[in-house]
Structure 1
Amino acid sequence: MNLTPIKGRWQHYRYLLLFLLLFAFIQPGTAQTTSDEFRTRPFLLAINRPEGSLAYTYLSLIYSEVFKRLNMAFEIKYIPLKRGFENVASGKLDGETTRVFTYQDSHPTLIRVTESLYSTNVSAFALSDVKLQLHGWNSLIGHHYKVEYPRGVYISELNLNKVVPPEHLSMIKTATQGIKKLLIGRTDIFIDDELVVYPLLDSLKDFSANTVHKIGVMQPVPLYMYIHEKNKWLEPRLSEIIKEMKDENLMKQYRKIVFNF
């Protein structure tokens, strides 16, 4: 029996299989990092709070312990929210310090670390003479207040666009600018993370004779670390370490140290 045609076909299929396997590994954007790569460079994390802020300090304490347990170097880079996402989505940076649970739904190149870091409240703030009380996003329906929030805060953007008319809704680059505009009466309500706003109220108490108070919690929010898909091999260990730290009560200890509450 002449087996040459069969051998020829087998060689053809073998080369085709090898080509397909090679193609799968060299597609742009799909190459994974390895532990060896992080022996020569730090893991780069985007943060949306400026260096020197209490939120930056709090997250630095958390991630210092996380990466100590990973035995890896890391570096936190302050980048505004939108640009931070673009850098992480493209793989220029390795991850983001905090985002909400649903963030992954619209950002497919990012992987959410399963265990949340901690929870906070997204709350509404106004001048002390404003007697309005809010309870969740829908409580803004029907009002005509000028509402502002920091650009790139996904959960605020998602919900406020549903309940506040466009002509009454604005974004600001930083929370500091938002509180200052509130204090001088250019806006009526400012919405952001309590852990960011409360320290600012203390630091800006001499900026204006006006004072600001909380008028309601819009939503309690668990926050998660996100990593680029090329680093997905790290996710199980990151989740395990974060859970260990929460079980050891470290997140609350760091919060007490930094925020004193």
Structure 2
Amino acid sequence: MTAKNLLTLLFALSTATQGLAQPKEFVLHAPQVEGSPTAIWISRTYEEVFRRLNIPLRVLYLPHVRGAVMTEVGEVDGQFNRFHDYSDKYPNQIRVDEPIYSVVLTAVVPAGSDLQFDNSWQSFSDTGLKINYVRGIEAVEKSLKQHVDANLLASVSYIHDGLVNLKYQHSDVFIHGYTAMKPYLDSGEFKDHLQLAGTIERINLYPFVHRKHSALAPSIASTLTQVKAEGLPMQYCMEAYGPGSEQLCRGVVPQ
């Protein structure tokens, strides 16, 4: 075999090997608590989306702020869910134009409280209430700062921290997504100590990817649309939350 023919054969083998190579792993940041019902149904949805795209997926559970920083600099490839205008603050993030999750932002107060809020951030204006929220949720932080003095606001890293502060009266109100809070509110630790005080806003949350993966965003969107049309996220949600959860899941799985 001549040297020229050998080089041709090696090139052909190299090309064939590259064609058989597995796609690079895609790492998604999840702000939810690992193993929580919300984390379970959303992660199962993404697993199905990326399976259909033939891309290996790894979910990385991190607090909101740390995940935002790591994704913005490209250390992480994408994020489970952020609000529509998230890229205004983080320009390296590209929105996938198909919502994954509808979050019902809800106020929680100590049991026995007369406080009630009326579907508006303005209902917190001039109340003097100390309000906690989870750090890094820009939609909540932005809305609160428009209506509440900064010295009355405090952020926490995790839902549990905010509910503990409320239980022991270190704060007056905690605001977060209802379905993410529900397992805590139903637990013995909080069930008799806290109560709901009104829905503040419902917003759709979207997947985001780093701009180096911008070409992949339309494929993720179309595949997610298909998976939703087949009813799989709804199925995953009801399996995660258990019997009697159909109404709850209809409220959080965007149609």
Task: Tell me if both proteins adopt one fold, taking TM over 0.5 as the criterion.
Answer: yes
Distance 1:158 1:193, change over 3 A: same
1:3 aligned residue: none
* Cα shift at 1:39: 2.5
| 2:171 partner SS | coil
TM-score (norm 1): 0.81
* Cα shift at 1:56: 1.8
* Cα shift at 1:128: 2.3
Q: Does 1:174 align with 2:158?
A: yes
2:63 aligned residue: 80
Q: Is the 8 A contact 1:118 1:251 kept in 2?
A: no
Out of 176, 179, 202, the position equivalent to 1:195 is: 179
Q: Is the 8 A contact 2:92 2:211 kept in 1?
A: yes
1:223 aligned residue: 205
- CA deviations 1:71-123 (Å, max 9, x no partner) are 11110011111111111111111000110101122211110001111312011
Q: Which residue type is aligned with residue 191 of structure 1?
A: I
Q: Which residue type is aligned with residue 91 of structure 1?
A: G
Q: Does 1:251 align with 2:202?
A: no
Which whole-Å CA distance do the structure 2 matches of 1:210 and 1:259 have between them? 21
| 1:152 partner SS | coil
* Cα shift at 1:54: 2.1
Question: Unpaired segments of 5 or more residues in structure 2?
Answer: 1-17, 246-255
| 1:122 partner SS | strand
Which whole-Å CA distance do the structure 2 matches of 1:112 and 1:178 have between them? 29
Q: Which residue type is aligned with residue 201 of structure 1?
A: L
- CA deviations 1:120-160 (Å, max 9, x no partner) are 20111112211222122111112111110011111111111
Distance 1:243 1:137, change over 3 A: same
Q: Does 1:117 align with 2:100?
A: yes
Q: Does 1:91 align with 2:50?
A: no
Out of 139, 153, 167, the position equivalent to 2:123 is: 139
Which whole-Å CA distance do the structure 2 matches of 1:188 and 1:99 have between them? 26
Q: Is the 8 A contact 2:81 2:101 kept in 1?
A: no
1:50-69 to 2 correspondences below 5 Å: 50-69=33-52
Which whole-Å CA distance do the structure 2 matches of 1:219 and 1:61 have between them? 26
Q: Which residue type is aligned with residue 231 of structure 1?
A: H
| Number of aligned positions between the proteins | 224
TM-score (norm 2): 0.83
Q: Which residue type is aligned with residue 240 of structure 1?
A: S
| 2:74 partner SS | coil
Q: Which residue type is aligned with residue 127 of structure 2?
A: H
Q: Does 1:100 align with 2:58?
A: no
* Cα shift at 1:210: 4.0
Q: Which residue type is aligned with residue 106 of structure 1?
A: K
Question: Unpaired segments of 5 or more residues in structure 1?
Answer: 1-34
| 1:230 partner SS | helix
Q: Which residue type is aligned with residue 68 of structure 1?
A: R
Q: Which residue type is aligned with residue 215 of structure 1?
A: A
- CA deviations 1:236-258 (Å, max 9, x no partner) are 11110111122112222221111
- CA deviations 1:184-214 (Å, max 9, x no partner) are 21111000111211111123x2x36842221
224-233 vs 193-202, which moves further: 193-202
Which whole-Å CA distance do the structure 2 matches of 1:120 and 1:209 have between them? 21
Q: Is the 8 A contact 2:25 2:58 kept in 1?
A: yes
Which whole-Å CA distance do the structure 2 matches of 1:209 and 1:93 have between them? 37
C-alpha RMSD of matched pairs (Å): 1.8
Q: Which residue type is aligned with residue 147 of structure 1?
A: I
Q: Which residue type is aligned with residue 156 of structure 2?
A: I
214-223 vs 225-234, which moves further: 214-223
| 1:39 partner SS | coil
